[in-house]
């Protein structure tokens, strides 16, 4: 069967992904090494994702703020594990002026900074410094802040949405009086992410704590959300860190308790990024292109008038009236009355993953009906509705699609997790090419033989099993 995207997922998943992004007009590699340009359709998806996440963040009494892009090297250097984790991938600003030298524009040697800055790879340090001044007494706690910003981590092998030098994210930074509170908060934000990914992105997460080997640089505990892609690889979609007192000690975040004693505070940080878009696209899409859950679809419904030369205007007007009725119900609708051919329009919106495709031709117009196809189920779902019924039931139709998409991935994931009871069993599976996650006792992975498998098969520990932390999930990853 001819598919809109070639190669298919089966043939070459990685090329399929690249071509999917082009076909849906989501983004492109920019001329800036490792950075991408997010095109309007991709950015519209991100805005919907961001707004849904922002609602949840605010409902947790977190306040948004905005901290500088640049971080003095000196700050960055204060937490040893942190600097070791990020120093190798920092963009460094060393000059504040350009000058024409020998006919070419260059950094002006006379405008060299005495102390260079790095572009934030994450903001624990600069926010830690601010909090050391803002937190004075127990009355100031908890202090919960978030920012939506761009960050930069130099990437040698960039991939659109999955790994880019610059990316957009939200980073939350909370401060508490006690470790009980900070740890509970790190877990609460982790749960918030899990709910968001399930209900907004229609993606079930494998959740749990990272093993010590895989923790964030400077954290006591890292709670992660791992998504299983269609090729069985893991994608880390978000993390929440209990930072203990690492940053409060490095930056002097202290508070005066109700007992008059000065104590170091306890901090957390938690983040999700435009990387989630990579997961969204790879989780749901098929060989005909993008498949979007209604919650984050820029257009939830596209109406395509199937016109003849003699009824173009009439059908376009008729379609736009139906479009307006749907908009009045809060639905995001596009009536594609452009002058392309109907099959071209059809394929355009299939590739872009619009959840519901509505066709209206002369027959439908006369009968007061619509032909509706669900993107997630394809041709088989083609149904005729009366126009009134469709408008009346649109909201529940979209809710059903959203729910069905989540359930479909849940079902698929079940087959993607293999239990193994020894390293030998794991090796056998890897050798024969079993795809997906492997669940194995954590203790079995703490030896040289496991490290050999890591090297050979490019696998890694994704997280401990939340339901039984004696077990760890192993997978190849993005």
Residues of the shown chain interacting with a copy of itself in the complex, contacts defined by CB under 8 A = 30-32, 35-40, 43-44, 46-47, 63-73, 75-77, 83, 87-100, 105-107, 116-119, 126, 129-130, 145, 149-150, 152, 154, 166, 168
Cα(200)–Cα(164) distance, rounded to whole angstroms? Answer: 24
Residue closer to a copy of itself by CB (options 83, 292) is 83
Residue closer to a copy of itself by CB (options 331, 430) is 331
Residue closer to a copy of itself by CB (options 66, 432) is 66
> How crowded is the C-beta side of 51, counted as CA atoms within 13 Å?
9
Cα(392)–Cα(386) distance, rounded to whole angstroms? Answer: 10
Residue 451 beta carbon to a copy of itself: minimum distance, rounded to whole angstroms: 26
> 217 near 84, Cβ under 8 Å?
yes
> 268 near 244, Cβ under 8 Å?
no
Residue closer to a copy of itself by CB (options 141, 365) is 141
Residue closer to a copy of itself by CB (options 158, 232) is 158
Residue closer to a copy of itself by CB (options 129, 209) is 129
Q: Which residues pair with 334 in a beta bridge?
A: 302
Residue closer to a copy of itself by CB (options 123, 183) is 123
Residue closer to a copy of itself by CB (options 30, 460) is 30
Distances 261 to 176, 222, 253, 360 between C-alpha atoms, Å:
15, 30, 14, 73
Cα(131)–Cα(152) distance, rounded to whole angstroms? Answer: 23
Distances 236 to 7, 188, 210, 337, 435 between C-alpha atoms, Å:
25, 18, 11, 40, 17
Residue 308 beta carbon to a copy of itself: minimum distance, rounded to whole angstroms: 23
Residue 212 beta carbon to a copy of itself: minimum distance, rounded to whole angstroms: 24
Residue 163 beta carbon to a copy of itself: minimum distance, rounded to whole angstroms: 15
DSSP designation for 159? B
Cα(425)–Cα(109) distance, rounded to whole angstroms? Answer: 60
Cα(49)–Cα(28) distance, rounded to whole angstroms? Answer: 20
Residue closer to a copy of itself by CB (options 25, 389) is 25
At 287 the three-state DSSP class reads coil
Q: Six-digit token pair at 26?
A: 């989501």
Residues 6+ apart with CB under 8 A from 120: 67, 68, 69, 70, 71, 126, 149, 151, 152
Residue closer to a copy of itself by CB (options 47, 180) is 47
Task: Provide the sign of the torsion angle of the four alpha carbons 421, 425, 430, 432, taken in this order.
Answer: negative
Residue 134 beta carbon to a copy of itself: minimum distance, rounded to whole angstroms: 8
Residue 159 beta carbon to a copy of itself: minimum distance, rounded to whole angstroms: 16
Task: Provide the sign of the torsion angle of the four alpha carbons 256, 260, 262, 265, taken in this order.
Answer: negative
Residue 283 beta carbon to a copy of itself: minimum distance, rounded to whole angstroms: 22
Residue 403 beta carbon to a copy of itself: minimum distance, rounded to whole angstroms: 29
The DSSP annotation for 314-383 comes to: HHHHHHHHHHHHHHHTT--EEE--SSS-HHHHHHHHHHTT-SEEEEE-HHHHHHTEEEEEETTTGGGG-E
Residue closer to a copy of itself by CB (options 7, 85) is 85
Cα(61)–Cα(307) distance, rounded to whole angstroms? Answer: 52
Cα(459)–Cα(223) distance, rounded to whole angstroms? Answer: 19
Q: Six-digit token pair at 466?
A: 């939340």
Short-list 9, 13, 38, CA closest to 25: 38
Residue 156 beta carbon to a copy of itself: minimum distance, rounded to whole angstroms: 9
Residue 200 beta carbon to a copy of itself: minimum distance, rounded to whole angstroms: 19
Residue 429 beta carbon to a copy of itself: minimum distance, rounded to whole angstroms: 37
């Amino acid at each position: 069967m001819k598919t809109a995207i070639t190669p298919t997922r089966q043939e070459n998943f990685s090329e399929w992904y690249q071509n999917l992004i082009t076909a849906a007009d989501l983004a492109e590699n920019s001329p800036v090494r490792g950075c991408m340009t997010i095109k309007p359709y991709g950015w519209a998806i991100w805005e919907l994702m961001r707004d849904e996440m922002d609602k949840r963040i605010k409902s947790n009494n977190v306040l948004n703020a905005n901290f500088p892009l640049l971080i003095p090297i000196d700050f960055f250097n204060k937490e040893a594990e942190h600097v070791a984790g990020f120093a190798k991938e920092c963009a460094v600003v060393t000059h504040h002026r350009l000058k024409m030298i020998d006919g070419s524009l260059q950094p002006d040697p006379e405008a060299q900074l005495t102390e260079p800055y790095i572009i934030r790879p994450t903001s624990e340090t600069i926010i830690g410094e601010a909090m050391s001044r803002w937190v004075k007494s127990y009355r100031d706690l908890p202090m919960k802040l978030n920012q939506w910003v761009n960050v930069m981590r130099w990437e040698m092998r960039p991939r659109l949405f999955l790994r880019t030098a610059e990316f957009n994210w939200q980073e939350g930074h909370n401060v508490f009086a006690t470790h009980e509170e900070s740890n509970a908060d790190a877990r609460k934000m982790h749960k918030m992410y899990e709910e968001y990914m399930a209900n907004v992105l229609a993606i079930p997460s494998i959740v749990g704590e990272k093993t010590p080997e895989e923790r964030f640089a400077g954290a006591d505990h890292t709670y992660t959300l791992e998504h299983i892609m269609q090729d069985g690889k893991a994608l880390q979609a978000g993390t929440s860190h209990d930072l203990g007192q690492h940053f409060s000690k490095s930056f002097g975040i202290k508070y005066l308790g109700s007992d008059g004693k000065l104590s170091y505070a306890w901090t957390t940080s938690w983040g999700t990024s435009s990387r989630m878009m990579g997961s969204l696209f790879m989780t749901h899409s098929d060989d005909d292109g993008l498949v979007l859950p209604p919650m984050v679809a820029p257009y939830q419904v596209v109406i395509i008038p199937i016109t003849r030369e003699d009824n173009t205007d009439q059908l376009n007007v008729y379609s736009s009236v139906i479009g307006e009725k749907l908009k009045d119900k809060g639905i995001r609708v596009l009536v594609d009355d452009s002058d392309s051919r109907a099959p071209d329009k059809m394929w355009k919106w299939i590739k872009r993953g619009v959840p519901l495709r509505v066709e209206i031709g002369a027959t439908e117009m006369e009968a007061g009906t619509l032909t509706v196809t669900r993107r997630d189920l394809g041709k088989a779902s083609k149904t005729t509705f009366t126009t009134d019924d469709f408008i009346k039931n649109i909201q529940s139709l979209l809710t059903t699609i959203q729910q069905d998409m989540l359930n479909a991935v849940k079902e698929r994931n079940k087959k993607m997790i293999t239990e193994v009871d020894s390293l030998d069993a794991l090796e056998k599976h890897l050798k024969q090419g079993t795809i997906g996650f492997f669940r194995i006792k954590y203790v079995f992975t703490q030896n040289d033989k496991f490290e050999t498998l890591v090297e050979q098969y490019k696998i890694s520990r994704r997280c401990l099993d939340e339901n039984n932390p004696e077990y760890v999930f192993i997978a190849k990853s993005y």
